Structure 1
């Protein structure tokens, strides 16, 4: 299993988290995805999106509820096993990695490493496969810190893929990228057979990319469903406090949106 890996289901039940008892940043979140489905989580700043992601990849333990991957509670299996099943690409992009692109991508193999043994032929094969799949072979020897934003993002996705995950979680993967690189990253993710959960700011990109969309506001998941079910003028206007106008697209069930600050 390499970049041809397949996804698994994820089920989130009554999830709640906060920095201390009684102070919740996320609460009452429920949703389920089948293997290979793609979820875009959208909402205003401070809605709890990043806090929710931290619970999903076992970054923090929930104060309420649970997260199940393939029917297993992620806090009932070992951290190494979780790292083999869930890969993460965070929004904070390291700028000064003193490593080559190949070295950074090889870091994704750490969950599969046994003891103090060196890299195996399988490790090198997985890295070569990921570099080729993301069109990074020509950059393999380059220092990570010298790359453009779009190139760095592709490297971090390649690192995630070498983990052979079933689920990949991304926090704003298009942040700070120009339009071309935004589309390239999302088109790449769409080709994968993995279960994908990502936060996105751009509602139109989310509607095009995802099989499911979740709206979040003030720590609650206020809507979950297919893009055409969730992304309505009323729901988007209410969530973001703007006037959102939906424009039907011929041959596409998901509308495109324009926005203004006028009262919805």
Structure 2
């Protein structure tokens, strides 16, 4: 799993996981995405999306199935090697974090640090690149705790980028952000040549951002494919228990969805 500045192909087959016997949160999930893809994972609360992500970034070992990155089994390599390939940005954002922005981004270099040696010139170059790419250089000396929510999210993505991964996994990267910062974060992610896997709540943001979409319901994959193929009123209504209405035309790039509670008896 050597690192380059491009993404990696991700293949998931027969993936199952649960915290104890009799409780399965990820149930026989399988899909494949090409290097450089942007996968949005959608589903109602409690569907198993975060549990699926935890399997993908090796926080938990699946009970069954296989995860392969460019054909290499994720569990056939060391945790450190896996961390060189996969970076993670979690939904839980640290609050009182007594470090500067530069220090936080430098933490992304830990998997590539050799022994107990200090930071190398390459480490500093990669951190400077990440700060510049996410327009954070002017905040490098600021304390992380003093930043706005949008700025903090950019710092955590910069830390992931400094890790030099081929895949970045994000759990609700736009959560708790206003509309402007949501759009800014997704625009920043689009500039990366890496493979991106993210859970998202906002269907319209997912439609604009993703190259591939997966819908998870009760731990199972109920739909997978391109946004045009998957994000249909029928699929969304079934997954979320709402009435989904599409506006505009996919061909013009203007497709939008609105949602309402179903009339009694309109959904089976």
TM beyond 0.5: yes
SS across alignment from 1:15: strand
Superposition TM-score, scaled by structure 2 size: 0.95
How many residue pairs get aligned? The number is 261
Q: Deviations over 1:113-153 (max 9, x none)?
A: 00000000000000000000000011000000000000000
Tell me what 1:256 maps to.
Answer: 256
For residues 179 and 120 of structure 1, the distance between their equivalents in structure 2, rounded to whole angstroms, comes to 38
Residues 1-264 of structure 1: pairs in structure 2 closer than 5 A: 5-249=5-249, 251-252=251-252, 255-263=255-263, 264=266
For residues 252 and 109 of structure 1, the distance between their equivalents in structure 2, rounded to whole angstroms, comes to 42
SS across alignment from 1:30: strand
Summarize the Cα distance change of 1:254–1:169 in structure 2 as closer, same or farther, 3 Å threshold. farther
Q: CA deviation at 1:251?
A: 4.3
Unmatched runs of 5 consecutive residues or more in structure 1:
none
Q: CA deviation at 1:255?
A: 2.4
For residues 247 and 43 of structure 1, the distance between their equivalents in structure 2, rounded to whole angstroms, comes to 21
For residues 251 and 10 of structure 1, the distance between their equivalents in structure 2, rounded to whole angstroms, comes to 28
For residues 250 and 228 of structure 1, the distance between their equivalents in structure 2, rounded to whole angstroms, comes to 7
Q: CA deviation at 1:5?
A: 1.5
Give yes or no for contact 2:228–2:250 (8 Å, CA) kept in 1: no
For residues 247 and 140 of structure 1, the distance between their equivalents in structure 2, rounded to whole angstroms, comes to 43
For residues 205 and 60 of structure 2, the distance between their equivalents in structure 1, rounded to whole angstroms, comes to 28
Q: CA deviation at 1:254?
A: 6.8
Q: Deviations over 1:160-205 (max 9, x none)?
A: 0001000000000000000000000000001110000000000000
Structure 1 runs of 4+ aligned residues shifted over 6 Å read: none
SS across alignment from 1:187: helix
Unmatched runs of 5 consecutive residues or more in structure 2:
none
Task: State the superposition RMSD in angstroms.
Answer: 1.1
